[in-house]
């Protein structure tokens, strides 16, 4: 009896790999003690208080791989092809002034309305990093795979795995918990952005 695609045979399940998630060389980047200390700390900060400041930041960080995907991913009102050089200005135009920040040495780019909002996001990202650091590789990989299935820009666990940041512990979270932490972070970023935009549009 014939089998194979199109004959009713169930598709073969393939375990996820870091390479399939876009990371060709896991843990290849060195991680000094100083860099480890910065994994969940603010590493870049710019006060975007004018169109000129937005344009300067866009030019300064145009080469950053994750700048545009991170800012666009939580803002469905931005055109999906907004380039890195223009994305900070596009956010400013829709939400007004705020802070552009990079959370962690290999973390997300965010745009927050004020210092308090930025601190909230920093705390949520730190919670993800601290939990993921204790997980074994198979757990981190499953969590990263599930996060990418939830949304294309949910790539924080993949970015972290570029370094040997994990130090597995006996008491470690499961994959579902890590996926939930990443999802909660991005939901918080998106919620802040939507409220910031709504406040801008009020008379």
Q: Residue 16 domain-assigned?
A: no
Q: What are phi and psi of 151, to 5 degrees?
A: -165, 140
Q: Residue 6 domain-assigned?
A: no
CA distance 123 to 103: 10
Largest Cα span, the chain: 70
CA distance 66 to 2: 46
CA distance 163 to 23: 11
Q: Residue 11 domain-assigned?
A: no
pLDDT at 146 over 50: yes
Q: Residue 27 domain-assigned?
A: no
pLDDT band for position 8 (50/70/90)?
low
Q: What's the average model confidence in pLDDT over 178-193?
A: 98
Q: What is the sign of the dihedral through the CA atoms of 69, 110, 30 and 127?
A: negative
Q: Residue 85 domain-assigned?
A: yes
Q: Residue 88 domain-assigned?
A: yes
Q: What's the average model confidence in pLDDT over 44-52?
A: 98
State pTM to two decimals.
0.90
Q: Residue 22 domain-assigned?
A: no
State how many domains the chain has.
Answer: 1
Q: Residue 140 domain-assigned?
A: yes
The residue range of the domain holding 71 is: 33-201
Report the pLDDT value the prediction gives residue 201, as an integer from 0 to 100: 75
């Amino acid at each position: 009896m014939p089998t194979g695609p199109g004959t009713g045979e169930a598709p073969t399940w393939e375990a996820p790999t870091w390479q399939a998630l876009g990371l060709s060389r896991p843990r290849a980047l060195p991680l000094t003690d100083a860099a480890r200390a910065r994994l969940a700390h603010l590493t870049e900060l710019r006060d975007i208080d004018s169109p000129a400041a937005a344009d300067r930041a866009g030019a300064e960080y145009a080469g950053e791989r994750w700048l545009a995907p991170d800012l666009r991913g939580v803002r469905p009102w931005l055109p999906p092809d907004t380039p890195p050089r223009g994305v900070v200005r596009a956010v400013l135009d829709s939400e007004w002034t705020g802070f552009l920040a990079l959370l962690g040495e290999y973390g997300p780019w965010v745009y927050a309305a004020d210092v308090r909002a930025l601190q909230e996001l920093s705390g949520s990202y730190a919670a993800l990093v601290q939990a993921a650091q204790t997980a074994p590789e198979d757990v981190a990989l499953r969590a990263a795979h599930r996060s990418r299935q939830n949304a294309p820009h949910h790539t924080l666990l993949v970015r972290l795995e570029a370094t040997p940041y994990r130090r597995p512990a006996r008491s470690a979270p499961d994959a579902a918990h890590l996926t939930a932490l990443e999802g909660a972070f991005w939901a918080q970023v998106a919620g802040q952005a939507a409220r910031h935009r709504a406040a801008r549009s009020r008379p």
